Chain A
Amino acid sequence: MSSVAAPDRTATPASESVRRSRPPGLSRKHREWVAAGLFLAPDVIGLLLFVGIPMVLSVAMSFFQVSGFGSYEWVGLGNYERMMNDPLFWSSMRITGLYVVVLVPVLFCVSLGLGLLVKQKLPGMGAYRTMLFLPYVISLVVVGLLWKFMLDDQVGVVNRAMRAAGFDGRSWLGSPSLALGCVIAVMVWVMMGYYMIIFLAGLQEIPNEYYEAARLDGAGPWTAFRTITWPLLRPTSFFVVLMATVAAITGGLDLVFVLTNGGPANGTALAIFYIYQQAFGFGEYGYAAAMGSFLVLIMVICSAVVFKLTRGGRFDDGE
């Protein structure tokens, strides 16, 4: 700890003249400490109050039954026992698992594909980038509303187009598995532009000379991608997989709310949705906190797995 401030000790005598004009009692070093404390105070207090304490509280609450407003009753591991035996919770975990396992790879591939595409120098590429990114700036509530309209059984434009093409319309949001597919597809549509930009930034960092050399060696586009792009893009890929996984496990609440409200037959009730329902629908704060803590645990494990699989996004293979 003190080693951080150590180099400063040697600098103090040099600024003796400055020091004399300051109020006595505080050395320059200590003034810097005070300044740092004041600069950091708003954010540190805020983060402590609205992120740190809630996090600890979340775990603490999971051992209590919180009834109504304010009365806490110690139940030990009771909430966790209940969780283990709650078929609806496990169904929500299964749906979340399916959602993550499908969404993350699809989103990854689509965004990487788009990144590779918009990296090309084609006429009008600026406009294409803009249009591909556009859905990201729209709120998930609006997104939910507009897709609900488009996916409507009777009047939706999707079924209209299918019927026009000679197929039968489907009840997109009316069957559990199709509805989950719709949530995933809509999420890909929303997020693809964001990750496309991140991939584009990563791709633009790769020197063109490498591709030139590969071309001179007679390598085709696929070989160039496999031997240059893919390995050099590893830090970006790691970042995208990590972000997308964390966002998939804990996000999507707004979209599910508006698009399907968890239905049909709980088919799109993601874990985070079920937890929300238990807490704010039924006032089961303690139980919801237990499930929330469990979800955080899962998220940490998933992040660790992603980290392990991508070796933390480092370029080199060993070490």
Chain B
Amino acid sequence: MASDTHAVTARRPHTERRPHTERRSRTGRRPRTGRAGLTALAVVLSAVSVFPVLWMVVSAFKTRSTVTDGKLIPTEITVQNFVYVFTEVPFARYLWNSFFTSAVITVAALLFHSMAAYALARLRFPGREKIFMAIFATLLVTAPVVLIPLFLVARELHLLNSYAGLIIPAIFNAFGIFLLRQFYLGLPKELEEAAIIDGCGHWRVYWNIVLPMSRPILSALAVFFFLANWNAFVWPLVVTNDEALTVVQLGIASFQTQYSSNWNYILAAATVAALPMLALFFTFQRQIVESIKTSGLK
């Protein structure tokens, strides 16, 4: 059995670049017990990793009296918790706020970062390296540390309690610029140069040639930015206190303080907040993983 599946895996085309001829002989010699042990380990660890999420989702479908019964398979299933969450608090509004802000941030960030990255990778101008280093240095300044002065800046700019306040400060981060610049440095220049010779302006080169070529990395970053902003909690907490502007993470956090021991409701709310990200993850898993890989390799 083990050798059969191994033959199948060995023949399947891999995404890795390395030739697999050597590998086959190496793994072929490994004792079957070792492979079985590793598989068992992987199964157990995966189960440990997924269990809490599974437990949350299952518990969200239990009734008030059975939510704490400790059974993985619910004895009776109800969707009443979800109905309650959506009727007791404006949960749909929270979801919309999160969706809207995350979407706008993602689109704006992709546009601005790819523009900046294009300039840093391709255009020649005085001080280019210095500007890049300055942008890169802001990577060290993590958001929580500048939370207080950022709040004061937002207050001066009259951004408190507005969508603009939720959105604008969240757009700018050097991480995206850095990754895109690396990507552009790796693109062949010929097409752009030909376009410049033909009299194209830099904007048209960027818009018609560079942007279409960067679709893979842009889609990876899009998923990543959307995820990060959907999950954001601290900045929305600081910058808004208006019910109409509450994002979903804030919504479930305050829901929890109101319904402290009604776990069936809390877990239903948490499940609704997590579900879009789980769906996004399962749909765009490859893009997410690829963007993380690129960030690690530099």
Contact = CB atoms under 8 A, between A and B. Distances in A.
Interface of A: 1-2, 4-5, 7-8, 15, 18, 21, 29, 31-33, 35-37, 39-40, 42-44, 46-47, 49-55, 57-58, 61, 69, 114, 117-118, 120-125, 127-135, 137-142, 145-147, 149-150, 154-155, 157, 160, 189, 192-194, 197-202, 204-205, 207-209, 211-212, 215, 235-236, 239-240, 246-247, 250-251, 253-254, 257-258, 272, 275-276, 279-280, 285, 288-289, 292, 295-296, 299-300, 303
9 contacts: A35-B202, A42-B116, A50-B172, A54-B153, A123-B8, A150-B55, A192-B49, A201-B296, A257-B253
A44 B49 contact: no
A204 B274 contact: no
* Residue with the greatest number of chain B CB neighbours at <10 A, chosen from A51, A117, A133: A51
The 9 closest A-B CB pairs, nearest first, are A139-B231, A198-B296, A155-B68, A46-B172, A39-B119, A54-B149, A201-B293, A57-B149, A131-B46
State the main secondary structure of chain A at its contact with B: helix
Interface residues of B, number: 109
A58 B126 contact: no
Interface string B137-159: 01011101111111111010100
B213 interface: no
A295 B274 contact: no
B55 A145 contact: no
Contacts of B50: 131, 134
A258 B138 contact: no
A206 to B, nearest CB: 9
A42 B158 CA distance: 19
B293 A55 contact: no
Interface of B: 5-6, 8-10, 16, 18-20, 22-23, 25-27, 35, 38-39, 41-43, 45-47, 49-50, 52-53, 55-56, 59, 68, 70, 112-113, 115-116, 118-120, 123-131, 135, 138, 140-142, 144-153, 155, 157, 168-169, 171-172, 174, 177, 196-197, 199, 201-203, 206, 227, 230-234, 238, 249, 252-253, 256, 263, 266-267, 270, 273-274, 277-278, 280-282, 285, 288-289, 292-293, 295-298
A193 B292 CA distance: 11
B125 A132 contact: no
* Residue with the greatest number of chain A CB neighbours at <10 A, chosen from B23, B52, B231: B52
Contacts of B20: 208
B35 A122 contact: yes
A191 to B, nearest CB: 12
Given A128-B42, A215-B26, A254-B234, A40 B120 contact: yes
Contact of A132 (B46, B202, B298): B46
B138 A197 contact: no
A58 B148 contact: yes
A138 B279 CA distance: 11
A44 B172 CA distance: 9
A36 B130 CA distance: 14
A118 B42 contact: yes
Contacts of B278: 134, 137-138
Contact of A142 (B55, B174, B273, B289): B273
A135 B147 contact: no
Contact of B149 (A42, A141, A208, A289): A289
Contact of B267 (A114, A138, A145, A198): A145
Given A36-B123, A202-B296, A246-B142, 6 more contacts: A36-B128, A47-B135, A121-B23, A134-B50, A157-B55, A197-B289
Contact of B112 (A5, A46, A128, A200): A46
Given A18-B199, A134-B49, A4 B274 contact: no
Contacts of B168: 46, 50
B227 A137 contact: yes
A257 B233 contact: yes
A246 to B, nearest CB: 6
A49 B168 CA distance: 10
Contacts of A279: 147-148, 151
Contacts of A154: 68
B45 A149 contact: no
Contacts of A199: 296
B78 to A, nearest CB: 17
B174 A149 contact: no
